Amino acid sequence: MPLVNIFVVVLLVAANGFFVACEFSLVAVRPTRLQQLKEAGDSRAAVVAHLLKDLDRILSGVQVGITISSLALGWLGEVTLAGMLEPLLRSLEVPWAAAVAHTVAITVAFLAISSMHVVLGELVPKSMALQRAEKVALLIARPMAVFMIAFGPLIGLFDSASNVILRAMGYRGTVGHALVRSAEELRLLLQQVHQHGVVAPQQARMLEGALALSEVEVRQVMVPRRDMVCLPANASLLHVLEVVRTRRRSRYPVFDASPEQVIGAVHAKDLFRHLEERLQRAERGESLPPFDLRLFARECLFVPETKPLAELIEVFRRKRVHLAMVVDEFGSVQGMVTLADIVEPIVGEVRDEYEAVPVPAAASGGEIVLDARTSLHDLEQQHRIELPTGPGFETLAGFILNRLGYIPTGGESFLHDGLRFTVLEMEGRRVARVRIERLAEPARGEVDSVDPAPP
């Protein structure tokens, strides 16, 4: 009889390990790999895929299996092992052997069964399932499918009871298990695979940029209104061609009375096509109609400045446009955004062959001179300088104005987090160039100091 009980105990430990391996392997297995195995004719992969279609119910079945095997193991294992140990303890020739034999036997049996349960029934199968998820999932697929058929009614009863209790407590019932990860979890996972060399640094930066699209708003990447290259609707053909020749853009907003009254956008290729037609007509001696830029202005998309880039790129794709005007809550044009502006947070700064690349001027002692229009995001990515953002500003100039509290005239400086910021150049009321100096140790009394406003 003890041998039969020992055999049953071993089976219960194995059953517990089976269900644990089932749980972790099904959660960790890759659906794409299963699809490849199905296409290769592996019938076990089809069974695994079928189980994954209702993973929440499968996990409920796993919990039922683990609970039954664990309870049975505790009940039978401790009794069996204690029954084998107690006679041995009583046979010891010591005065207290008979008095404490039962207690010692139960204690030793509990510790031994618990250790075997945790190590062989939990930790070992879990590690095996995580390291060889595909192989383990294929092995457990058919036995688990049979178990689900046999215990289906009981599992359904437990699921229904748990849903009733959850709803009574104000929670939703189980509505399906999804392997969903938050953006922060994906970033941590990306850091881990990058540290282990699974992805290249450039690939890691691109993936991290793609994850941040839903967190970056249009105003953070837009071209400010004062930097927009626009064309007045009443411009002559010569003026338009001169702007296109010197500014080398592919698309230009067209405004009526002021840059805030944008009526559309014109593509450079449409202008050149029209110029070609006019030249051909001139060669044939035909009269030329007056040039009207409004005829070439395509309908322009207007988006709020708080729109996330992930949503805007979908709008661009659906409407097949590459440019949008950015407006504030009052409907005033604040800038414009192009498809390249959206892509840059993913792949880095995109410049064409005609666009000048502004190189930050480096000075001795770790100083750099930057264009004040540099975004705080680029400042962190390119120079490892992290500055706090705030409502209403996304650039280095905005940060400086926020810290100073007044419009500088040039030469003002302040300290922030071990860095000295100095306004080198102004263009009217706009901060143009800034010098950033990293201090080894701020002088006493100068920590995060700001020059007072001029009288």
Residues 173 and 166 sit within 8 Å (Cβ to Cβ): yes
Q: Where in the chain is the domain with CATH 3.10.580.10?
A: 218-347
Q: Is the dihedral of CA 274, 277, 283, 287 positive or negative?
A: negative
First to last CA, the chain: 100
Residues 224 and 334 sit within 8 Å (Cβ to Cβ): yes
What average pLDDT score do residues 142-150 get? 92
Average pLDDT over the chain, rounded to whole?
A: 83
Q: Where in the chain is the domain with CATH 3.30.465.10?
A: 361-438
What average pLDDT score do residues 296-324 get? 91
CATH match for 361-438 among 3.20.20.140, 1.10.10.10, 3.30.465.10, 3.40.228.10: 3.30.465.10
Of the two residues 194 and 238, the one the predictor is more confident about is 238
- CATH superfamily for 218-347 is CBS-domain (3.10.580.10)
Say yes or no to pLDDT of 33 above 90.
no
pLDDT for the residue 417: 86
**Lowest mean per-residue pLDDT among 35-49, 77-91, 150-164, 234-248:** 77-91
Q: What are 63-72's pLDDT values in tens digits?
A: 999 999 999 9
pLDDT for the residue 294: 92
Residues 438 and 419 sit within 8 Å (Cβ to Cβ): yes
Residue 366 has, within 13 A of its CA and on its CB side, a CA count of: 11
Residue type, 427: E
Matching residue, tokens 């280095």: 396
CA pair distance 144, 21, nearest whole angstrom: 11
